[in-house]
Chain A
């Protein structure tokens, strides 16, 4: 299995809602990532988990809350979002080699989020 899956594919939520995005991989990768991608722009890193521990938070607002319950799953909990948070949210995973070296990142198809 060489796939990163993300659910849901599309999500529409109001500014007072609480929702979660889910990402799953079964490649044995121990690094997982959340990216945000606005239209016609490159992906922007939000969070990195390494061995289920948060290793990078790119100064993301607290209304985005990541969680890595095990080595295969990555969640992004959303609360009190703003319309400008509407974007494609991408999950990725990669191996972590000895010495902390990383390898290529495999991306999922993304969740298209619309905040009304």
Chain B
């Protein structure tokens, strides 16, 4: 089955700096890659996603890049703010697996003011 590795497990950045989280996946048939943000005491919230026919996607301060050949994708957050502090999960899925999301281990991001 699919295996998703996520790095780093913790990330501390100064407010205003950029944060980058990287994920690799094992199943070349995976075609949908969402990123979720989970704040303390809340459920995961989708922040951005990318499909395998696209190499990059941006939404304001957030961007995701996908390298299908290398089977890795990354989340970039620019101009970080304290409210970006949370746990971020990457995930991968494919239609053939019934949209089962396989999550990475998570990255705890701390933005220091």
CB-CB < 8 A to B100: which residues of A?
A: 45, 48, 56
Q: Is the CB of B106 within 8 A of A41?
A: yes
Write the chain B residue with the least CB distance to A109.
B43
Q: Is the CB of B99 within 8 A of A94?
A: yes
The size bracket of the interface on A is 20 to 34
Q: Interface SS of chain A: helix, strand, loop or mixed?
A: strand
A69 contacts B by Cβ under 8 Å:
no
Q: Is the CB of B89 within 8 A of A105?
A: no
Chain A 93-116 against B: per-residue CB contact (8 Å), 1 yes, 0 no?
A: 010000011101111111000000
Chain B 31-44 against A: per-residue CB contact (8 Å), 1 yes, 0 no?
A: 01010100001111
The size bracket of the interface on B is 20 to 34
Q: Tell me the complex Cα distance, A55–B32, Å.
A: 19
Q: Tell me the complex Cα distance, A92–B46, Å.
A: 11
Write the chain A residue with the least CB distance to B34.
A104
Q: Is the CB of B106 within 8 A of A109?
A: no
Q: Which residues in B have some Cβ–Cβ distance to A below 8 Å?
A: 32, 34, 36, 41-46, 49, 89, 93, 95, 98-101, 103-106
Q: Which residues in A have some Cβ–Cβ distance to B below 8 Å?
A: 4, 31, 40-45, 48, 50, 55-56, 90, 92, 94, 100-102, 104-110
Given contacts A43-B89, A43-B101, A56-B100, 4 further A-B contacts (CB under 8 A): A48-B100, A92-B43, A102-B98, A108-B43
